[in-house]
Amino acid sequence: MKLSELTAGTMFMPPEWDREFNHIHADSRDIKPGDLFIARKGHSSHGKAFISAAIEAGAAAVFSENAEMFRCEAGSVPVFPVSELEKQLPGWLKKRYPGYESLTLYGVTGTNGKSSVTQFIAQLAAASGKRCGVIGTLGNGFFPDFEETKNTTPDICVVYRLLDQFAQSGADSAALEVSSHGLHQGRVAGLIFDVAVLTNITQDHLDYHGDMANYFAAKAALFDKDKARSAVINIDDEYGARLISMPTLCDHYLTLSSKKNISADVVFHKVVATADGMKAELQTPWGTEDVYVPLLGEFNVANLAAAVTALAVTGEDFGNLLIKAETLQPVAGRMALYTKPGACKAVIDFAHTPDAIGVAIKSLAPLSKTLSLVFGCGGDRDRTKRAPMASAASLADNVWLTDDNPRTESAEQIFNDVSDSPDASDFTYMHDRAAAITAAIEATPEDGVLLITGKGHENYQDIMGVKHNYSDEAVLLSLGYQRAGGGYAS
């Protein structure tokens, strides 16, 4: 594609500077020879600081937001000044990457459950003979082969390029985790989702949004009439209940609930834990059926209900989806079970908010007389979340507080913030995460369960800007544990 084709109708392209280009990138580290670099204002810096790096990497041209004048760099690379670049960028991306138009788009937002719901949508679609791409925390691609990602919701240039690649690979649909950061920073601007899903909203990311009102507003934007054709909304959540009364809400939506709101459009109840999963009854506009999911926790029934509803809204057969639900595989780092003869069971989960930790503990508590917990609080993040996390953690019988990506913050300061909570008086404090897990295993009886939260699938420990190789799973494997075949605790 030529620059003049890309910008037709939006900006004049001098013929002498018109040229072919390959991909569009807003991150200079992604530039390959022949690409177009977008230098725009970011959250903490401006892309103009990286123009030289992009050109050195082979950029064919640069569009620079609010640059003073046209100029050439490195002899022949044009740098075009562009006003209102953020408004024009989605239109350019649609021209360069038109594949998104052929895809059914599912957007899932919420504090917890985004990864599980998107993965369930993709698995159920695949089991029904469809091909569904995934963009999210665990990576981008087709289940179960994902490429590592920098963000839950990537930069807008990456999002459109991935959707185009999915379409070219034969995908019928794509399920996207849409984070509050991604919504606030316009990373899905210009897309219209066929179904938007709200799982829940609890305290998180207030270091970025400032307060819960702003956090909710960022999430709620996904459900506006101009961004979603339909929606699935959990009204057990107080913010979900607020969302359905907003005047900007898309015209078609279904409410989702447990028995708390029996008048909801979709109700999952009569939830029973079995030896190898969960059973429940699902009441929907498509009928009432029993459903079985080979995964642990009532929250996974809620996640499944959201995924099934989203797919049914777009025409997938409800009964067939429930049959396929029996084949669902565990999501990486979400309630993953590990066992070792003569030792307690261990479960790794990504839970890193007060609500998620509390839900995980309550899900495992009926399975064991003794429940131990290893958890941490991330550095350079919302400090007001730490005391509530301590309160949630105190639901466990024994608790070890350890490091969980302290980043550039003092790990000792994080410990001090947690210890200020009266609920943390009986905690054991150990900075060495592997040592804390080992100590917790030794202190938990054979018939007990150790829950390890916070990192989930992550394979690093972020300390002072350096990501050191580390994974909770690797620690368990080194201690003689093995991943349970079905991934659930029984």
- pLDDT, tens digit (0-9, with 9 covering 90-100), for 86-131: 999 999 999 999 999 999 999 999 988 899 999 999 999 999 999 9
Question: What number is the average pLDDT over the span 401-407?
Answer: 97
Look at the block and give the residue holding tokens 């279904």: 254
Mean pLDDT over 7-26 rounds to 95
- Superfamily name with CATH number, domain 3-88: MurE/MurF, N-terminal domain (3.40.1390.10)
| Residues of the chain above pLDDT 90, percent | 77
| Residue 254 contacts residue 298 (beta carbons within 8 Å) | no
469 is in an annotated binding site: no
Asked if residue 32 belongs to a known ligand binding site, the reply is no
Spacing of C-alpha 289 from chain mean position: 29
| Cα 92 to Cα 4, 43, 61, 161, distances in angstroms | 11, 22, 15, 12
Is 391 annotated to bind a ligand? Reply is no
Is residue 275 scored above 70 in pLDDT? no
Give the pLDDT band of residue 329 (cuts 50, 70, 90): confident
Q: Is 255 annotated as a binding residue?
A: no
28 assigned ligand-binding residue: yes
Q: What percent of the chain has pLDDT over 70?
A: 98
- On whether 151 is known to bind a ligand per the annotation, the reply is yes
* CATH class assigned to 97-325: alpha beta
Per-residue pLDDT at 332: 79
Residue 458 is labelled as binding a ligand: yes
Q: Which residues are bridge partners to 249 per DSSP?
A: 224
Q: Report the phi/psi class of residue 429: left, alpha or beta, with left for phi > 0 and alpha for psi in -120 to 50.
A: beta
Segments in 185-237 forming alpha helices (H): 206-209, 212-220
Alpha-carbon distance of 156 to 162, in angstroms, equals: 10
What does the pLDDT look like over 170-196, one tens digit per residue? 999 999 999 999 999 999 999 999 999
For the segment 59-80, the average pLDDT, to the nearest whole number, is 91
The response to whether 113 counts as a known ligand-binding position is yes
Confidence (pLDDT) at 124: 97
Give 295's DSSP letter: S
Inter-axis angle of helices 114-127 and 318-325, to 10 degrees? 110
Q: Does residue 487 carry a pLDDT above 70?
A: no
The reply, when asked if residue 111 is annotated as ligand binding, is yes
Question: Considering the domain 336-483, what is its CATH architecture?
Answer: Alpha-Beta Complex (3.90)
406 known member of a binding site:
yes
Q: Please state the domain extents for the chain.
A: 3-88, 97-325, 336-483
Q: Is 185 part of any known ligand binding site?
A: yes
Strands of 104-109's sheet, edge to edge? 145-147, 139-142, 132-136, 173-177, 104-109, 195-198, 230-234, 252-257, 266-274, 277-284, 287-293
User: Does 483 show up as a binding residue in the annotation?
Assistant: no
Q: Is the pLDDT of residue 450 over 70?
A: yes
Residue 485: pLDDT band (50, 70, 90) is low
pLDDT in tens, 20-37: 999 999 999 999 999 999
404 is in an annotated binding site: yes
The answer to the question of whether 459 is labelled as a binding residue is: no
Residue 187 labeled ligand binder: yes
Tell me the mean pLDDT in the region 280-302: 92
CB of 181 within 8 A of CB of 153? yes
**Amino acid 486: pLDDT:** 43
The Cα–Cα gap between 230 and 115 comes to 20
292: phi then psi, degrees, rounded to nearest 5? -125, 135
| pLDDT higher than 70, residue 387 | yes
Q: 410: annotated binding-site residue? A: no
Which distant-in-sequence residues (6+ apart) come within 8 Å of 121 by Cβ? Answer: 106, 108, 132, 173, 175, 307, 310, 311
Angle (CA) 152-156-158 rounded to 5° is 75
Chain-wide mean pLDDT for the chain?
Answer: 93
Identify the burial level of 247 via C-beta atoms within 10 angstroms of its C-beta, where 0-12 means exposed, 13-18 middle and 19 or more buried. exposed
pLDDT at 396 over 80: yes
The verdict on whether residue 133 carries a ligand-binding annotation is no
